Amino acid sequence: MKNRYFYPLTKENLSESDCLEATKVIKSKKITMGKITKKLEFKFKKIFNQNCLMVNSGSSANLLIFQLLINPKVKLLKQNDEVLIPAICWSTSLWPIIQSNLKPIFVDINKETLNICLQDLKKKITKKTKALMLVHALGNCTNMDELVSYCKKKKILIIEDTCEALGSKYKNKYLGTYGDFSSFSMYYSHHITSGEGGFISSQKKKYLDLIRVLRSHGWEKEISNKNNWKFINSGFNLRPTDINASIGLSQLKRIKTILKTRRYNYNFVTKSLKESENFNKSFKIIENIDKNKNIYWFGIPIQLKTSVIKKSNILKKLNKLGVETRPVISGNFANQPAVRLYKIKSHGLMNSNFIEKSTFFIGIHNTKISKKEVKKLCNIFENVSV
């Protein structure tokens, strides 16, 4: 079915070569997790210079990290320990904290970066604070030097949710390599895709073996290569397939080209929109002004400059004219109905509320945008300007 959007959040992200590699696996009839998954894990390890383990989604990566941290063999976290998390986050950045019997504490964000506010983070640290679930929103980040230094001083574990930030760097160091553990996503709309898939990365090799066990039923076989039925821990079934891994491996071969194309599209679209006087009267593009950061944006964040008209009205007009939009991640998650079910306390989230009411984003595609497409996109924004 033809996409109803002229400018969707995501265009087709699979090439013929990606599909061919997946077909090869299907024809081999060896489609479950195997040699190709291990090959992809090794490739990611070479890029990030730390251990990497593939799972079936970025969400599963977050879940396994927290299940590791509370595991009886590790005990880095215990029941009701507090875990800080930015209020602008995704559901499965938050739920693994609750599912692991830990206590999430929402932290406000910085309006200029859309990422965690270090001043509010420092205010909300207590004696019970043991970890930080750091979400790199839209590929951007906070001041990582200050954050890591402060967390180290307070003995706070850092888990980086890097699902929207593959390839982004702070001071020439990849996001996802600053914390104790990190999660990545290869969902269809992300920088590279394996259809469904994600991975966990960490310098702490001794814990990766336990995650392998947790990933696959708690089965000893995952670390001993013994074909037995011995279960040595709790577990899930969060394994990927070699079909997914083959697609991810194919995309990883051209990751430099994909990231270069996405940056070209970002620069072309933002430059063209800002050349419009009407656009500048009504909208502001949130951009990176920190030279320490080398960002590959997940989307183009656009903010309303006026409160005369509601964001919902603007979005309805854009969607009607063929431009697909979405909130920054999911808006202020503290306002989501599900949060009330778990009675998660939230206060002092003014910036997160502001972003939810004023800001949205449009997509960045993995294929090069044409001048004709950009011109049409600019004309559409001209028509919806206040």
pLDDT tens-digit series, residues 15-42 = 999 999 999 999 999 999 999 999 999 9
More confident residue, 224 or 287: 287
| pLDDT single digits (tens) 226-243 | 778 999 999 999 999 999
Report the pLDDT averaged over residues 324-329: 97
Structure tokens at 78: 């215990």
Amino acid letter for position 355: I
Sign of CA dihedral 322, 92, 179, 184: negative
Task: Return mean pLDDT, the chain.
Answer: 95
pLDDT-derived band at 1, boundaries 50, 70, 90: very low
Specify the pTM: 0.96
CA dihedral 36, 38, 42, 48 (to 10 degrees): 100
342, 323 in Cβ contact below 8 A? no
Residue 192: per-residue pLDDT: 95
What is the set of domains in the chain, with CATH numbers? Answer: 16-252 (3.40.640.10), 255-384 (3.90.1150.10)
Least confident of 56-60, 86-90, 104-108, 310-314: 310-314
